[in-house]
Structures are given as C-alpha cells and as structure tokens.
Structure 1
Amino acid sequence: MITPKAFHRLVPDGDTHERDVCATCGFVNYQNPRIVVGSVVRHAGKVLLCRRAIEPRRGFWTVPAGYLELGETPEDGARREAREEALAQLKLGELLAVYSVPHLSQVQLIWRAELMDPGTGAALYGVGEESLEVALFDWDKLPTDEIAFPTVHWMLAHERQVMAKGYSGPFANPA
C-alpha cells in the first residue's frame, strides 16, 4: 500500500523561501510561476483577436495565448496557441513584451507576429476550439470595453507604439 507523503511548510537547508517539504524523505515540492506565451498578430493593417470560449473571461476578446507546455519552446508554444485558438499559422517576429503578473504567478512572453498563408487555399484563420469567434480588427475599432485581461490592453498599446516609433522592446509592465 502506498501511503501519501506528509508535507510540511518550512525553509529547506540552503534555501530562502518556505516550501512544501516531505517529512519522510525530504523531497522539496517547488512551485514556480506559470509561463504564458502568445502573440499580437497583424495582417493587412489589422490585428487578430479571439473571443474566449473558456473561463476565465468567457466571451471577452484576447490575443492568441496560453500556457507553455512541458518540453516546448516558447516560440513553438506561441505558434501552437495561434493554431488552437485561431487556426492560424504565424511568422513570429520580435519578442514584444515580458509581463509579470505576480498575483497569478504568471510570466507572459508575447511576440509580434504576422499571419502566414498556409498555401493550401485554406483561410488564413478560423475559429478554434477555445474560441467563440475570431476576427481581424482595425486598430481604431478595437473592442476595448470587451478585452479579457489588462495585459491584453498593454500588448495592444505596446504594439501600436512599435508601429508608430519602431521596435525598442521588449516591453515590460507599464508603470
């Protein structure tokens, strides 16, 4: 019979933070930030947004983004998220921003990207499993009152700044 490990909160030898440590074997259960990867996708002077089909913030608009998977590079993760949410193939450009969201234990890596033509006659984008709707928006007609997360506002503002002044990133959280 396998017995569950009894974990206690303590500062392990040689560490500076309190952790869950197994009282039996000394295993340290490290909890680390989650990495979110995504992209601000442009095409023909517009930006691609996805209306979320899942919680949190179901029904609100976001860029294609999500959690990085184990064994995946951040760039591959950003491309995968675009395929899953918007059925889109991307050409990634510069890293636009690295945002910290400590209250959610997240670090977000966001790229600048362009839609790529899949070359098969298929549409450039579509509605993926995690989206209710996917659309290209003119920059002056963004659904700003329906944006899912504060970081999406930051991403869009930073992309507009790059478009106006050139790339000087990556950006970080606004002051």
Structure 2
Amino acid sequence: MNFCSHCAAPVVSLIPQDDNRPRSICTSCGRIHYQNPKIVVGCIPIWETRILLCKRNIEPRKGFWTLPAGYLECNETTEAGARRETAEETGASVVALQPYRLFDIVHIGQVYLMFLARLQAPRFHATRESMEVRLFEEKEIPWSTIAFPVIEKTLRHYWHDRPENNFSFRLEQETGTMQKDD
C-alpha cells in the first residue's frame, strides 16, 4: 500500500504503539491500515458418484479446471458464500453443505474453506466465469490441468476418503509446494 484510502496521503510502514508488527500508517491522518488474509470458500458439488468441476474462463489459470470457489464477501456467511460461488461459476444449486477442509495458505495471505455439498439437481451450465462445467468420475479427473495446488489436494483427499465414506474435517497448512504423497 502506497497511499491512504481515507485521505490519499502517502503511507509508511511502522510498528504502531501497542502493536507487534509493521502496519501501513498514513503520514497525514494517522490512520492505520490493517492487511488481513482473504477468505476463499468453495464446494465439492456431488451428484451420485461424480463431482462437478468448472473450467476457468478468467485469470488466473484461465482454461484450467477447478472446484467452484471464490472470495467471501462482507456480510456473508461462509456457507452462503460457498453456495453463491457455486451458482456464479456453474449455474448449479447445492444443498447439505458440510465443512470438509480448511487450508491456511500463509505465503499468499489466503484461507480456503472447502465444503462437501450435494447438487440439488444435475442442472449446471457454462457461465461468464467458467467456459465449461461438467461432472467427473474419479478416473476422468483432468489432473494435469487442475488450476491450483489446494484444489488438487482437496480432490485427492475427497477420492481417498470416499471408499470409507469418512469425510472428517481437517485443517492443513499449504506451504506453496504440492507434495504428491496422498
């Protein structure tokens, strides 16, 4: 941040009194600008034995496959955000949301909360954000064109947990490098 969003004066990076880390502080009005992680919410939409993926029509990673997910909005619950993102990216409605994975992605300042969800009906379509939307069995997943490491990890966890029908909630820290040990 270079300028104050309140008065447009330059900001400097200093540790405020009674704080423990540098913050952007306005040189004119003294406002402290806190920068906090972004919350990303999304779903694994399930229909029978298949899951719904969407091929991104926007950057980053345009043309790559992902689960429907995006930034949580202010005044929105995580569940409502996951439903909204699923509708915006796939045209589908989901029900029975269950928290499944929480990823701390510290190096990019994001937290991902992924839900398991059931498609209300097998109705979905391409959208402004997704050039293609389709249901996949495990053997059909386009692993080489999955958009983001956290999405690949979520998918691998899902297919690993599915035979035992044991979808326990798990918290993980994503380090920025995807390890193929699952």
Q: TM-score, normalised by structure 2?
A: 0.87
Q: Which residue of 2 aligns with 1:120?
A: none
1:62 to 59, 66, 76: 66
Deviates more, 1:19-28 or 1:62-71: 19-28
Q: Which residue of 1 aligns with 2:168?
A: 168
Instruction: Judge conservation of contact 2:42–2:115 (CA < 8 Å) in 1.
Output: yes
| Mapping for residues 1-12 of structure 1, pairs under 5 Å | 4-12=8-16
Give the secondary structure class of the aligned counterpart of 2:139: helix
Q: Which residue of 2 aligns with 1:139?
A: 138
Q: Which residue of 2 aligns with 1:91?
A: 95
Q: What is the deviation of 1:55?
A: 0.4
Instruction: Judge conservation of contact 1:60–1:148 (CA < 8 Å) in 2.
Output: yes
Q: What is the deviation of 1:137?
A: 0.6
Instruction: Judge conservation of contact 1:48–1:134 (CA < 8 Å) in 2.
Output: yes
Q: What is the deviation of 1:93?
A: 2.8
Q: TM-score, normalised by structure 1?
A: 0.90
Q: Which one-letter code corresponds to 1:46 in the other structure?
A: R
Q: What is the deviation of 1:144?
A: 0.3
Instruction: Judge conservation of contact 1:127–1:133 (CA < 8 Å) in 2.
Output: yes
Q: What is the deviation of 1:14?
A: 1.0
Structure 1: runs of 5 or more not aligned: 118-122
Q: Kindly tell me the number of residue pairs found equivalent between the two proteins.
A: 169
Deviations 1:57-87 (CA, angstroms, capped at 9, x unpaired): 0000000001111111111010001110100
Q: Which residue of 2 aligns with 1:100?
A: 104
Structure 2: runs of 5 or more not aligned: 1-5
Q: Which one-letter code corresponds to 1:79 in the other structure?
A: R
Task: Give the Cα–Cα distance (whole angstroms) in 2 for the partners of residues 43 and 125 of structure 1.
Answer: 11
Change (3 A) 1:80 1:3: closer
Q: Which one-letter code corresponds to 1:124 in the other structure?
A: R
Instruction: Judge conservation of contact 1:96–1:158 (CA < 8 Å) in 2.
Output: no
